[in-house]
Amino acid sequence: MNSAHYQKSILFSNGDSWKEMRRFALSTLKDFGMGKRIVEERVIEECRYLIEEIEQYEGKAFDNTQAICYASSNIISSIMFGERKDYKDLALQVMVDRDHRIIHLTGSSSILIYNAFPWLGPLIKNWRVLMKNIEDGKENGKRIIGELKETLNPEKSRCFVDAFLIHKQNLEESEIKDSHYHDDNLLYSMMNLFAAGTDTTGVTLQWCLLFMAKYPHIQDRVQEEMSRVVGSHQIRMEDRKKLPYTDAVIHESQRFANIVPLSIPHKTSQDVTFQGYFVEKGTTVIPLLTSVLYDESEWESPHTFNPSHFLDGEGKFIRRDAFMPFSAGRRVCLGESLARMELFLFFTYLLQHFRFTPPSGVTEDELDLKPLVGFTYTASPHQLCCVSRG
Ligand code: HEM
């Protein structure tokens, strides 16, 4: 995207600013418990809210997109802003739904045309809608930062935004000028982390549930393994090792759903020769994750949903080098450990409580796996029944 704001932030920036913002984001997310017990507790608490929300439908068919995205949004929000919100909260709904729209529009064909011919922008309806949504998102972000600033206590950092503001204040007091800790980097890092942390995880989880409804024999095996190993006990991260089939199903869902097919375009930082081709420093490259996740020389049946891709002959979980839904290298997803924790806990909690089936009158075969193409691949609009397992 040729918009100025993408030059700042983390996702689309380069050079020293990217390096510093990535380092700060990673260490601050860890300070607030990413990959650790505190966040695990928070995800478990959120699983309960999500289950309560779903139970209200009493097994009737509904579109679970919003409930799931609100749940994943609450995890990153609690780290970014220090609070979760009720699923009925309008501010939460507006923020999540807007990011969903932005992510979808960014990958639409008209915006891809705009990327090649930026002067066409104002003539394209999707471009005008996208810009309006981005502007609204910025205004909302500034309002959130403003509110946190008003109650900031430098002795007690409540969240990511506080940590940034305190660091910025300390640099200013030491008269360090021209640092990367300016208002724009705060606003865009916050927006990046919120959007990247909400939609990707929510969309993946939605695919996981759709696959379970589509392949009931696989859902049976997951629920059988969970009943045998954990029964009705509260599931924790340490149970993952004892649930190899369930873990394989989550990995296979990520591989098969391939939600970020083009990853993110980046510029080469030096001249490279790749597979005999010379690529000059500064060339934009698009790392096609699809080519790895569906590589016929890596996967036994790349075009089939097959959890055995991640199991050895004895049913033990195996890692695969070609499993790269989070990309790889220095730009690898910064929230990978958080995403993995959320996927495991949300998925297992939901499967422990519900049976996922197509709406009545719809067969498993009729459930459509064709993705809706945007910047990410989301499942086409659909409804599922979530039947309580009692
Ligand atoms: C299932 C969930 C997720 C998937 C599939 C996913 C996937 C990705 C991918 C493919 C990239 C691009 C890497 C590249 O540029 O080559 C990325 C980058 C990124 N992700 Fe995620 N992500 C997920 C969850 C999260 C979460 C929960 C967070 C929030 C903490 C997050 C934050 C980021 C950030 C900040 C970047 C930019 C990193 C950089 O450019 O240095 N992601 N992610």
pLDDT tens-place string over residues 36-87: 999 999 999 999 999 999 999 999 999 999 999 999 999 999 999 999 999 9
In DSSP terms, which residues pair with 378 in a beta bridge? Answer: 372
| Ligand 1 atom with least separation from CA of 263 | 10
Tell me which residue has tokens 């990959």: 35
E strand intervals along the chain: 266-267, 272-274, 277-279, 284-285, 354-357, 371-373, 377-379, 385-388
User: Which residue is closest in CA terms to ligand 1's atom 3?
Assistant: 200
pLDDT of residue 7: 60
**How far does residue 363's CA lie from ligand 1's centre (Å)?**
34
**How far does residue 348's CA lie from ligand 1's centre (Å)?**
22
Residue 235 phi/psi, 5-degree rounding, is: -80, 145
Mean pLDDT computed over 121-148: 91
Q: What is the residue-averaged pLDDT of the chain?
A: 92
Nearest one of 171, 136, 158 to 150, comparing CA atoms: 158
333 is an annotated ligand-binding site residue = yes
| pLDDT at residue 5 tops 70 | no
State the pTM of this model.
0.94
Confidence of residue 103 (pLDDT cuts 50, 70, 90): confident
Ligand 1 lined by 260 (C-beta under 6 Å)? yes
Pocket residue to mutate for ligand 1, from 200, 205, 288, 331, most atoms within 8 A of Cβ: 200
Beta-carbon contacts of residue 146 (< 8 Å; ≥ 6 apart): none
Ligand 1 lined by 11 (C-beta under 6 Å)? yes
| Ligand 1 atom with least separation from CA of 329 | 16
Beta-carbon contacts of residue 53 (< 8 Å; ≥ 6 apart): 67, 71, 87
| pLDDT at residue 390 tops 80 | no
Beta-carbon contacts of residue 284 (< 8 Å; ≥ 6 apart): 265, 266, 267
Q: The domain spanning residue 313 has which CATH number?
A: 1.10.630.10
pLDDT of residue 26: 96
Mean pLDDT computed over 221-225: 97
| Domain total in the chain | 1
Ligand 1 lined by 196 (C-beta under 6 Å)? yes
ipTM of the complex: 0.99
Beta-carbon contacts of residue 40 (< 8 Å; ≥ 6 apart): 236, 237, 341, 345
| Ligand 1 atom with least separation from CA of 264 | 15
Ligand 1 lined by 208 (C-beta under 6 Å)? no
| pLDDT at residue 200 tops 80 | yes
**How far does residue 10's CA lie from ligand 1's centre (Å)?**
10
Q: Which domain holds residue 310?
A: 4-388
